[in-house]
Structure 1
Amino acid sequence: MSDRRSKIRCAVYTRKSHEEGLDQEFNSLDAQRQSCEAYIESQRHEGWNCLSNRYDDGGFSGGTMDRPALGRLIDDIESGQIDCVVVYKVDRLSRSLLDFARLIALFDEHDVSFVSVTQQFNTTTSMGRLTLNILLSFAQFEREIIGERIRDKKLATARQGKYIGGQPKLGLDIVDRRYVVNRKEAELVRRIFEMFLQLQSCRKVAEALDAEGIVTKTYTTKTGKTFGGTPWKRRTLYDLLTDQKYIGKIVHKGVAYDAEHPAIVDVAVFEKVQKVLRANKTYTHKQQVRRFALLRRMLTCGECGSRIMPSWCRNHGREYRYYTCSKKVKTGYGKCTLPTLPAGEIEKLVVDHLRFLFRHPDVIARTYREIQRLAECGPSADVLERLERLKARQEQTQTAIRAILDLGQHDSGFMAEELKRLSGELKPLELEIRQLETDTVDGGPVELEQVTDALQRIDPIWDVLHPEEQRRVLDLL
């Protein structure tokens, strides 16, 4: 390498999993960098030179690639600014065998060496790669053991009824990692439960609290950020009414344990509230997303500018569909004057108008001109850029699969799971790449008569199209 380059540009990468101690004048990241710089200095006769750019990830886990400094390091490698990456230990770069294989493949692709100050090896040899894989296997094993210990510790803490994390609640402050009852706020919590039993509606209770000028709990984090102090919303109130901490319980993994802090709300009152909430229960957002709505995310409220969202209700065993202003749903029905729209009527109105547009000369002419323009311009830059990104991801995934197969242990439990997951990622990537490549192929000139015929053919077949196909046509338009 010294023959090919008069100077080897070395980048030092450092990482620490926790933020604890990073505010010190000389912290763990500085110690790692100092050791790496000393090693680079010892290799100065070989042309090694330490770059001034710092790649420090403080408070980021080695089990993920989503790290800002690592992202900058990869960008600089891809732009040809780095010849060698130096770390204090291998697990500073990654604790995941799969991610490490991807990084080594990236280093090889750009002719970048990799050096660990405390573990001597050469990444260009098969023995060096084997050593790296063994070290990373142990690093990953250590990370999984740490994760198990944290989960076990959290479960043991919950069983003792102690604080297991999270933000302060209305009526409950956090002092020395313990919940302490805030007597003034506790009175408000009990009043909210009583108001709900009277009004039988989260929305009405939220409106009543907002009318009195009562806002959500305000608290400040250790970093000095302030949260809360906002108007009440239906969801915020629902979370409060269903929180078992108010009856002296700590919930972990769906199991409730007796808490060390006293109850604020009587259990009988809490159960009455849950019974009303279950009776009021409608379709959740996730259920609504799974349900089909032709005009989902296509309508905007003409009164307040919010998005129009689909909604459903049941009455006497019959289901009714509507489109409603999202502002009314989230903040109260008095916040917007737009009435609730019957879904069938509004969908028919939109489709009838579209059928008229399919035959309108101006629409046909504009469609033809747009097709001609796209044919002259060719594929857009966005499409070509996306195609390039997909191919890069495809290459990275294929490289990771080859790395696992090269280990010769792909029949083991962990490797088999990783191989299965990567194969699952590869298939949709290949399908999308083929689709984009097909779309970017020039199909030749299109005549005006062809555009007219294509648009007018939509009308007679509209009713026999699958609802998802109808929605796709609307999306395209």
Structure 2
Amino acid sequence: MTTMVGYLRVSTEEQATSGLGLGAQRDTIQRYADAHGWEVTYYVDEGLSAKSMDRPQLQAALTRLHVLPKRRDIDGIVVAKLDRLSRSVHDFSGILKLAAARKWAVVAIDLGVDTSTPTGKLVANVMMSVAEWEREVIGERTSAAMQAAKRQGRHMGRVSVLPRPTGDRLLELRATHTLAAVAAQLNAEGLSTALGEPWSANTVAKVQKRLRAADTASSDEQGARMASARGL
């Protein structure tokens, strides 16, 4: 039998205390699960916003889903409404890509996204295409603005540097941990991003890529200096 993670979230402490919202979400998920013959194990984040993916129970669910298919004991994640999982199209697109790569299902009942079905996959692919278009458009606008500022002699953006010990710890953890697990561990150790924000799996991936690129560039530069010193 298919077993799914039913993810529930409410954003205020009042909702968490009263149970308002959680019951409706659970009922919606359970009806959908019963109709499809699924078993559901529930993960609940109480009093937390969807602006960030750094929510304890969500990260726990994603870590459990990250296990290789043959060893995994659940088949996907289901939410009553997409905004319970994420308010960011970009973050949701990332979850869909991860799910496709690791072969688990994502179900957002309110939007008809159910990647365990052909129609649901089509809806998911449309959403990912829209997210990619959005990123490209924003990137083009940002690049144009930065070029204009550069021509005018102005600096745009915040200069932020990740402390080397934090970067070293991230790379150390990545040798044996998933992106989600690394994010959870860094947050547990009180290590924030360069901007002082909590870590998410997406942020870990981006920073890891930058750190490795910086190390490669540093190695190339050192090699060039040594070659120059030898007169090569």
* Bin for the TM-score computed over the shorter chain: 0.5 to 0.7
Deviations 1:125-177 (CA, angstroms, capped at 9, x unpaired): 34432147769x9xxxxxxxxxxxxxxxxxxxxxxxxxxxxxxxxxxxxxxxx
CA 1:105–1:22 in 2, change beyond 3 Å: closer, same or farther?
same
For 1:321-370, what per-residue CA distance to the aligned partner results, in whole angstroms no more than 9, with x for missing partners? xxxxxxxxxxxxxxxxxxxxxxxxxxxxxxxxxxxxxxxxxxxxxxxxxx
AA of the residue aligned to 2:79:
V
Q: Aligned letter for 1:16?
A: V
Paired amino acid for 1:10? M
SS at match of 1:85: strand
Question: Please, which runs of 5 or more residues in structure 1 have no aligned partner?
Answer: 1-6, 138-381, 394-420, 438-477
Counterpart residue number, 1:106: 98
1: distance between equivalents of 2:104 and 2:25? Answer: 21
Instruction: Count residues with an aligned counterpart.
Output: 154
TM-score after normalising by structure 2: 0.54
Residue 105 of structure 1: how far off its partner (Å): 1.8
2:12 pairs with one of 10, 18, 26:
18
Once superposed, what is the RMSD of the aligned Cα atoms?
Answer: 3.9
SS of structure 2 residue aligned to 1:86: strand
1:126–1:118 distance in 2 versus 1, CA, 3 Å: closer
- Per-residue deviation, 1:32: 0.4
Q: Is the 8 A contact 2:15 2:47 kept in 1?
A: no
Q: Percent identity?
A: 26
Aligned counterpart, 2:32: 39
Letter in 1 for 2:4: C
Amino acid at match of 2:124: G
Partner residue, 2:40: 50
Offset, 1:429: 2.7
TM-score of the aligned structures, taking structure 1 as reference length: 0.28
How many angstroms apart in 2 are the aligned matches of 1:43 and 1:73? 21
Query: Which of 419, 422, 431 is 2:213 aligned to?
Result: 431
Select the structure with the greater relative contact order (CA < 8 A; seq sep ≥ 6).
2
Flag the structure with larger Rg: 1
1:388 match: 175
The Cα of 1:13 is off from its aligned counterpart by 0.3
Once the two structures are superposed, what CA deviation does each residue of 1:387-441 show, in whole Å capped at 9, x if it has no partner? 5269959xxxxxxxxxxxxxxxxxxxxxxxxxxx999846523236659x9xxxx
Aligned residues of 2:80 and 2:108 also touching (Cα < 8 A) = yes
Q: SS of 2:27's equivalent?
A: helix
Match runs of 1:390-409 below 5 Å: none
Structure 1: how far apart are the matches of 2:214 and 2:16?
44
Superposed displacement of residue 10, structure 1:
1.0
**C-alpha spacing 1:23/1:97, structure 2 compared with 1 (3 Å):** same
- Quote the residue 2:2 is aligned against: 8
Give the letter aligned to residue 20 of structure 1: E
Does 1:130 pair with 2:126? yes
Matched, 1:83 2:83: no
Q: How many angstroms apart in 2 are the aligned matches of 1:103 and 1:390?
A: 18
Measured after TM superposition, the shift of residue 42 of structure 1 is 1.0
What secondary structure is seen at the aligned counterpart in 1 of 2:73? coil
- On the 8 A contact 1:115/1:121 being kept in 2, the answer is yes
CA deviation after TM superposition for structure 1 residue 20, in Å:
1.7
Return the alpha-carbon distance in structure 1 between the equivalents of residues 129 and 22 of structure 2.
24
